[in-house]
């Protein structure tokens, strides 16, 4: 207990943030109807799972010191469209129509290719923000070109239903995948050779280079991981809706109206260092659940989209400022 | 006399490959559309291009200033949207001039505050501006009450799109004026040179006694001002504004800035480059209109332009590194040979 209090005093700013969050949660329990119920809890986790999985992918990129990708929702868009095309037309092959494994494989392949191409440019020395801004436009352009900007839908009894709307032991499949991916990613980051390399390259790129861990291969691998997870979420989302359109992820999504910024927000609110080398996927998962909780509370209180976006935006800016104050003077931000 | 002038210009182009590439791209795009589309070189189309330049040039200028300072401002689209909403909303009750002043004051203030936090907390700008991107978007939604704000009195839009001297409108004249002022500021004043200094070599400039806080705040305030001005022009020209609008400006502005030859490492590029870059993007956008393509294709081609420029810049950087490494190795070899020769001489004399 004594230790707890002393560490609380030592990390004053961090504890102010935590206290603030706990207070908000208590407010939600006592002042909002239908907030603290099992059904609502399931809704929250389900919301959190969709952008939580993408955020776990982005955590790899952030940890390796490559800031973040601005092409997340566009990667998801092209994968979503590709999956629906596979389910409805079979990419032109008659026997592939409605085949879940082939659609999934092709979609994951497209996601990996998109990620690897961007990672190549980033690794060669391009700025991640600028490269992915360009990549985003290209991916979105191809997605709309492919579908003529139409809604691609596939018939209801299909092989993909278990992923979209099925549930297991009372929790939706997507929630289970979120939990599994979070555990797997944490295991990879903490106990495998590759995971430690991610931390090394992220925290000190010069030292990484001197010991033979170039950013080129690292950037390609982490961008591929991130894009593959985006592809997975896109498949789950398309399976849930039984249809896909290129702007599913650009339209009003969650609270923010922009999937990419929401995912980046998730990584930041969790308290990962955006400069790389510090953080883990558990923080990201907590950030995702937290944002979903606050958003859910605001929806239950009947707020419009404007105040909700302001709320999430304030949360991001607040946590950035608090962590900047907290890290001031340390080497982490140089 | 003539000869020396030409050789001076030639020298300038050779010493600045990025600007040369910008001119090359601009001329290529313009001549491609000039030859393939009949009316592309007409007076009316030049007027239309300058009208678009009024918006995109300002966004490109704002991003150019930020990137010269070594940071990048992602919240520029949201800032412009907020200013557009405020100006359009206030024009009816209090009149256009006062509304413009209030709108510009607010966006400059936002830029100032961002610069303040970036300078004093030493956060990286991309980190903070991703947050403010969302925050400002929410605020402009709240200000617009989730609706499309509209003007009822269309005298102001009519005024700012009237034609002057065949090519110009009040909006584009104002924008060109802003360009010249900012260019003089960046080029010839102490404060402008400080922005270049902290972008190009931050540690060295700190060691040389350049304050890091003042130029950072000035750069972000300037870019906020430019973004707000662009929002004002868009809002007043169309007479409408939306809280969620104008998000495409970030991509277009980034392309304009990068075509104009700024380096993401900071300290490079200038106002002429920004103007050329914005014009290139405008040529592309306007030319694609004649092919009656969907909106996404414009985005696609703009992104392809960005990728081309990035590849060029990365390749030229790698080439530069290769050259300097080669020169370094050669000098090492040279010195080693000298030393060996000296040693031989020494041995000979000692024998």
Q: What ipTM, to 2 d.p.? A: 0.84
What backbone torsions phi and psi does residue A243 show, to the nearest 5 degrees? -165, 170
Query: Closest partner residue to A130 among B134, B145, B264, by Cβ?
Result: B264
| In-domain check, residue A11 | no
What digits encode the pLDDT tens for the residues A196-247? 988 888 888 888 888 888 888 899 999 999 999 999 998 988 888 888 888 7
pLDDT range class, residue A328, cuts 50, 70, 90: low
Contact: A141, B297; criterion CB under 8 Å: yes
C-alpha to C-alpha distance for B133 and A310, rounded to whole angstroms? 10
Confirm whether A225 is domain-assigned: yes
Please state the separation of Cα B60 from the chain's center in Å. 3
Chain A, window 121-140: residues with a beta carbon less than 8 angstroms from a chain B beta carbon: 121, 124-127, 129-131, 133-138, 140
pLDDT in tens, B105-146: 999 999 999 999 888 887 888 888 888 888 898 899 899 888
Query: A61 CB contacts (<8 Å, ≥6 apart)?
Result: A67, A68, A69, A128, A222, A223, A226
Inside any domain, residue A9: no
- A96 inside domain: yes
Integer Cα distance of A97 and A108 in angstroms:
17
Residue A101 within a domain: yes
Inspect the interface and report whether the beta carbons of A328 and B135 lie closer than 8 Å.
Answer: no
Whose structure tokens read 């896909």?
A244
| pLDDT of residue B247 exceeding 90 | no
- Whether B133 and chain A come into contact, CB under 8 Å, resolves to yes
pLDDT tens track for B301-344: 888 888 888 888 888 888 888 899 999 999 999 999 999 998 88
Query: Which has more pLDDT, B169 or A18?
Result: B169
**Could you write out the DSSP letters of every residue in B208-270?**
TT--SHHHHHHHHHHHHHHHHHHHHHHHHHHSEE-TT--TTHHHHHHHHHHHTT--TTSS---
**Cβ-defined contact of A134 to B130 (cutoff 8 Å):** no
| Contact between chains at B307 and A308 (C-beta distance less than 8 A) | no
Listed residue (A68, A223, A246, A52) closest to A142, CA to CA: A246
**Host domain of residue A54:** 39-327
d(CA B106, CA B110): 6
**A49-76 average pLDDT score:** 88
Question: CA of B285, closest CA in chain A: separation in Å?
Answer: 14
Read off the tokens for A275.
């400069």
Give residue A8's pLDDT.
62
Please state, in angstroms and rounded to a whole number, the distance separating the CA atoms of residues A11 and A16.
Answer: 9
Q: Please check the confidence at residue B221 and state whether its pLDDT lies above 90.
A: yes
3 state DSSP class of A152: strand
Interchain pair B130, A144: CB under 8 A = no
- pLDDT, tens digit, for every residue of B36-91? 887 777 888 888 888 888 888 899 999 999 999 888 888 898 999 999 999 998 88
Residue with the bigger pLDDT between A197 and B3: it is: A197
Residue A325 contacts B where some CB pair is shorter than 8 Å: yes
CB A271 within 8 A of CB A319: yes
Task: Give the pLDDT of residue B222.
Answer: 92
| pLDDT for the residue numbered B181 | 92
- B254 contacts in A (CB within 8 Å)? 130, 133
What DSSP designation does A243 have? Answer: E
Does this model's pTM top 0.80? My answer is yes
Residues of A in contact with B146 (CB under 8 A): 304-306
Q: How far apart are CA A144 and CA A245, in angstroms?
A: 8
**Which pLDDT does position A228 carry in this prediction?**
93
Altogether, the residues listed in chain B come to a count of: 351
- pLDDT of the residue at A207: 85
Residues 160-189 of B with CB under 8 A from A: none
Alpha helix ranges (H) inside chain B: 2-15, 17-36, 43-68, 76-94, 96-121, 125-143, 155-160, 170-188, 190-200, 202-207, 213-238, 249-259, 271-289, 295-350
Contact state of B314 with A311 under an 8 Å Cβ cutoff: no
Structure-token pair, residue A213: 């861990």
Chain B residue numbers touching A317 (CB-CB < 8 A): 128, 131-132, 135
Chain A residues whose CB is inside 8 A of the B277 CB are none
Counting one residue from A and one from B, how many pairs have CB atoms under 8 Å apart?
154
Q: What pLDDT score does A220 carry?
A: 92
pLDDT in tens, A143-192: 888 888 888 888 777 777 777 777 778 788 888 889 999 999 999 998 99
Query: Does A16 map to a domain?
Result: no
What is the predicted pLDDT for the residue at A252?
A: 53
Measured between beta carbons, the chain A residues lying within 8 angstroms of B145 are 306
Q: Residue A149 and residue B137: Cβ atoms within 8 Å?
A: no
Which residue from A minimizes the CA distance to B297? Answer: A141
Q: Rounded to an integer, what distance in angstroms lies between the CA atom of residue B130 and that of residue B243?
A: 17
H-state helical runs in chain A: 2-10, 12-31, 38-63, 72-89, 100-123, 128-147, 161-164, 173-191, 193-203, 205-210, 215-241, 259-269, 281-300, 305-326
CATH number at residue A124: 1.10.3470
Give pLDDT tens digits for B266-308.
778 888 888 999 999 888 888 888 887 777 788 888 888 888 8
Q: How far is CA B21 from CA B58, B142, B251, B302, B323, in A?
A: 21, 43, 20, 16, 20
Q: Quick one: DSSP state of residue A36?
A: S
Q: Phi/psi at A215 (nearest 5 deg)?
A: -75, -20
Would you call A312 and B243 a contact, using CB atoms and an 8 Å cutoff?
no
CA B106 – CA B136 distance, rounded (Å): 12
Shortest Cα–Cα distance, A118 to chain B (Å): 10
Q: Which of B71, B119, B128, B130 to mutate to test the interface with A (most CBs of A within 10 A)?
A: B130
The number of domains in chain A is 1
* pLDDT single digits (tens) A255-298: 556 788 888 888 888 778 777 778 888 888 888 888 888 888 88
Task: Report whether B234 contacts B80 (CB < 8 A).
Answer: yes
- Of the partner residues B134, B145, B310, the one whose CB lies closest to the CB of residue A134: B310
Whether residue A222 is contained in a domain is answered as yes
For residue A133, list chain B residues with Cβ-Cβ distance below 8 A: 250-251, 254, 303, 306
* CB < 8 Å to B243, chain A: 306
Contact A125 B314 (CB under 8 A): yes
Does residue A66 belong to any structural domain of this protein? Answer: yes
Residues 32-71 of A with CB under 8 A from B: 67-68
pLDDT class for A334, splitting at 50, 70, 90? very low
């Amino acid at each position: 207990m004594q230790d707890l209090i002393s560490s609380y005093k030592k990390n004053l700013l961090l504890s102010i943030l935590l206290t603030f969050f706990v207070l908000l949660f208590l407010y939600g329990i006592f002042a909002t109807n239908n907030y603290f119920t099992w059904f609502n809890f399931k809704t929250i986790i389900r919301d959190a799972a969709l952008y939580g999985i993408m955020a776990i992918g982005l955590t790899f990129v952030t940890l390796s010191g490559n800031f973040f990708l601005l092409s997340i929702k566009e990667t998801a868009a092209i994968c979503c469209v590709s999956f629906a095309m596979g389910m409805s037309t079979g990419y032109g092959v008659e026997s592939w129509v409605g085949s879940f494994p082939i659609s999934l494989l092709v979609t994951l392949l497209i996601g990996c290719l998109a990620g690897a191409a961007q990672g190549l440019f980033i690794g060669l020395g391009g700025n991640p923000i600028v490269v992915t801004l360009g990549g985003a436009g290209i991916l979105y352009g191809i997605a709309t070109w492919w579908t003529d900007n139409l809604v691609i839908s596939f018939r209801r009894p299909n092989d993909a239903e278990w992923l979209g709307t099925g549930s297991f032991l009372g929790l939706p499949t997507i929630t289970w995948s979120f939990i599994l991916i979070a555990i797997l990613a944490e295991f990879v980051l903490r106990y495998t050779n590759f995971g430690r390399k991610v931390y090394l390259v992220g925290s000190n790129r010069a030292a990484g280079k001197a010991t033979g861990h170039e950013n080129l291969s690292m950037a390609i691998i982490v961008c591929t991981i991130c894009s593959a997870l985006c592809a997975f979420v896109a498949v789950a989302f398309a399976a849930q809706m039984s249809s896909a359109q290129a702007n599913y992820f650009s339209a009003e999504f969650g609270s923010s109206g922009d999937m990419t910024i929401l995912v980046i927000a998730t990584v930041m609110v969790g308290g990962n260092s955006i400069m790389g080398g510090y953080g883990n996927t558990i923080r990201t998962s907590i950030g995702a659940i937290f944002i979903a909780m606050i958003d859910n509370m605001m929806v239950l209180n009947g707020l419009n989209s404007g105040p909700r976006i302001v709320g999430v935006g304030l949360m991001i800016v607040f946590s950035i400022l608090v962590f900047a104050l907290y890290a001031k003077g340390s080497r982490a931000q140089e | 006399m003539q000869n020396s002038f030409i050789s001076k210009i030639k020298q300038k182009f050779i010493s600045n490959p990025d600007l040369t590439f910008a001119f090359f791209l601009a001329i290529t795009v313009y001549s491609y559309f000039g030859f393939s589309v009949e009316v592309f070189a007409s007076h009316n189309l030049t007027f239309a291009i300058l009208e678009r330049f009024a918006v995109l040039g300002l966004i490109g200028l704002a991003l150019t200033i930020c990137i010269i300072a070594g940071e990048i401002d992602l919240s520029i689209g949201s800032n412009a949207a907020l200013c557009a909403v405020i100006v359009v909303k206030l024009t009816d009750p209090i009149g256009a001039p006062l509304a413009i002043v209030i709108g510009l004051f607010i966006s400059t203030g936002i830029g100032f505050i961002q610069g303040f936090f970036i300078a004093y907390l030493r956060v990286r700008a991309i980190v903070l501006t991703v947050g403010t991107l969302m925050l400002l978007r929410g605020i402009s939604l709240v200000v617009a009450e989730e609706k499309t704000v509209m003007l009822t009195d269309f005298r102001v839009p009519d005024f700012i799109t009237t034609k002057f001297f065949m090519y110009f409108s009040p909006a584009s004249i104002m924008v060109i004026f802003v360009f010249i002022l900012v260019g003089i500021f960046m080029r010839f004043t102490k404060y402008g040179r400080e922005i270049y200094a902290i972008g190009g070599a931050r540690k060295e400039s700190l060691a040389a006694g350049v304050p890091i806080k003042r130029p950072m705040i000035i750069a972000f305030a300037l870019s906020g001002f430019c973004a707000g001005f662009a929002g004002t022009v868009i809002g007043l020209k169309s007479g409408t504004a939306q809280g969620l609008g104008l998000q495409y400006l970030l991509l277009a502005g980034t392309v304009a800035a990068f075509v104009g030859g700024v380096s993401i490492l900071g300290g490079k590029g200038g106002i002429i480059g920004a103007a050329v870059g914005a014009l290139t993007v405008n040529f592309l956008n306007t030319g694609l209109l004649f092919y009656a393509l969907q909106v996404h294709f414009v985005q696609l081609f703009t992104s392809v332009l960005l990728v081309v420029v990035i590849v060029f810049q990365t390749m030229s950087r790698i080439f530069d590194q290769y050259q300097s490494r080669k020169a370094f190795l050669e000098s090492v070899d040279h010195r080693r040979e000298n030393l060996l020769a000296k040693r031989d001489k020494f041995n000979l004399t000692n024998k």
